[in-house]
Structure 1
Amino acid sequence: MHELTEEALVAASVDEVWRDFTVASRLTDWFWPPRFEATALVELRNVGRWEVRSEAADLAVEGTVLAFEAPRSLRLAWRWAGEEHSTDAEISLEPAADAATRVIVRHSGFATQEERDQHVDGWVSCLQRLIDRYGGAPGEHL
């Protein structure tokens, strides 16, 4: 099985970034590009749903909350709509200098290197939108 780790430094507090991942209306503001017209559902409880959908782009992530520790970590069973195979995505938030937050995404269980690489590209662009949400500073991928 293949895995990835992506990190970004976001110029917002841990509490703010936590809400960006766990409040549906905030998640849709940045998770995918605006042209996707995303909708989301977040049930922040064990075995709750964490879903982001786009009718415009004809895709959806149908996640299941496996574990969470507010406001520091969220672990999801991650599955694209229509696929049988799920992967494990863990999002960790750590305080950083200047009231920023270090976002660490560890995503594992990919069947192939190609599948892993596609998710690297997706997470990089997704995390960049989160950085941009707060004005782009400090705006670095680590």
Structure 2
Amino acid sequence: MTTVELQRDLPADPERVWRALTDPAELAAWYWPERMAPAVECDPVVGGAWRIASAPDGTAVGGRFLAVARPLSLSWTWRWDGEEHESVVAVTLAPTAPELDTPDGTRLHLLHDGLRPEDVGSHREGWVSCLDRLPAHLGADGSERA
């Protein structure tokens, strides 16, 4: 089993980032590319279910929330539809210091653990692509600080 670990500094406070990670409408707006027309279900409570599906691509992933500590951390199981293998994603959010490039921002740390070795590359690529879309989404509603 293997791990993907990524970190990003984001231009919004932890509460704003939390909403982007847990609100179904927000997740649908940025998590997967628009061409995938994602449909999202998300109940961010311990034991609550989440699922993201793309009818055009015929793919979906989902799981259950394992830990939820608004607005600083959450973890969930991850399993692609049609597969038995399950892994775990953990995200922590920490306010960035004013002296950093993102004052009033958030440092996001993502750890996707328990991946099969053959899946690490595709999951790393997927998470990088996903997290690359998040800063633009955070600024879309005007809550971003200059």
TM > 0.5 fold call: yes
Q: Quote how far apart the aligned CAs of 1:122 are.
A: 0.5
CA displacement, residues 99-126 of structure 1 (integer Å, 9 cap, x when unaligned) = 11111110110121x3011110000000
Q: Deviations over 1:68-122 (max 9, x none)?
A: 100111101100111101001001111113111111110110121x301111000
Once residues 17 and 66 of structure 1 are traced to their aligned partners in structure 2, the CA distance between those partners, rounded to angstroms, is 19
Contact 2:16-2:138 within 8 A present in 1 as well: no
> Within the alignment, does 1:130 sit opposite 2:118 as a pair?
no
The aligned counterpart of 1:41 is: 41
Could you tell me which residue of structure 2 aligns to residue 6 of structure 1?
Answer: 6
Q: TM-score, structure 2 length as denominator? A: 0.88
- The one-letter code of the counterpart of 2:21 is F
Cα distance in 1 for partners of 2:108, 2:130 equals: 11
CA–CA separation in structure 2 for the residues paired with 1:91 and 1:129: 16
In structure 1, runs of 5+ residues without a counterpart are none
Aligned-residue Cα RMSD (Å) equals 1.7
**Range with bigger deviation, 122-131 or 96-105:** 96-105
Partners of 1:18 and 1:71 in 2: CA distance? 6
Report the equivalent of 1:111: 116
> Percent identical across equivalent pairs?
34
**Letter of the 2:63 counterpart:** G
> Contact 2:17–2:138 (CA<8 Å) still a contact in 1?
no
Higher relative contact order (CA 8 A, sep 6+): 1
Counterpart of 2:40 in structure 1: which amino acid? A
Q: TM-score, normalised by structure 1?
A: 0.90
Displacement after TM superposition at 1:8 (Å): 1.1
What SS is found at the alignment partner of 2:15? helix
Query: Could you tell me how far apart the structure 1 residues matched to 2:8 and 2:136 are?
Result: 11
Is the 1:8–1:131 contact (alpha carbons within 8 Å) kept by the matching residues of 2? no
SS of match in other structure, 1:122: helix
> Is 1:73 equivalent to 2:78 in the alignment?
no
Q: Which runs of 5+ in 2 are unaligned?
A: 98-102
- Structure number with greater Rg is 2
Deviations 1:23-42 (A, max 9, x none): 10111110001111111111
